[in-house]
């Protein structure tokens, strides 16, 4: 855990990238997360999180095809690295262990 610095919001974005697979580009991630979280997010916060995670090695990216809708600008498709998968798994493990050890009262 110690070497991974993954914030809460970053984790959500990362998981969305994994979920969306080939569709994982900025606006699509934003839409997906907005609908799941039921709140509005800014392009800036999504982009900032994506760039940060790319720098830390959780994501890699490449340009996709250009589309009419974006004024001819290309999308950048993001993909989680194996390291990211591992970290996500670790975090999930830690959480489920913690859940398992919690008293039943809270669990319901």
Q: Which residues bind another protein (CB under 8 A)?
A: 25-27, 30, 42-45, 47-48, 51-52, 55, 63, 69-71, 73-76
User: How far apart (Å, rounded) are the C-alpha atoms in residues 96 and 78?
Assistant: 27
User: How far apart (Å, rounded) are the C-alpha atoms in residues 42 and 47?
Assistant: 9
Q: How far is the CB of 52 from another protein (least distance, A)?
A: 6
> Cβ of 14: how many Cβ atoms within 10 Å?
26
Find all residues with CB under 8 Å of 107, minimum gap 6, and list them.
99
Nearer to another protein, 63 or 99 (CB): 63
Nearer to another protein, 42 or 108 (CB): 42
Provide the token pair at 7: 């914030």
Q: How far is the CB of 43 from another protein (least distance, A)?
A: 5
Nearer to another protein, 73 or 92 (CB): 73
């Amino acid at each position: 855990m110690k070497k991974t610095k993954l914030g809460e919001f970053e984790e959500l974005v990362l998981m969305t990238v994994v979920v969306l697979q080939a569709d994982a580009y900025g606006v699509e991630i934003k839409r997906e997360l907005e609908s799941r979280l039921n709140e509005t997010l800014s392009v800036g916060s999504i982009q900032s999180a994506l760039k940060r995670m790319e720098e830390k090695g959780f994501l890699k990216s490449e340009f996709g095809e250009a589309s009419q809708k974006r004024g001819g600008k290309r999308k950048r498709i993001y993909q989680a690295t194996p390291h990211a998968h591992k970290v996500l798994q670790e975090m999930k493990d830690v959480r489920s262990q913690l859940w398992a050890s919690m008293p039943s009262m809270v669990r319901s």
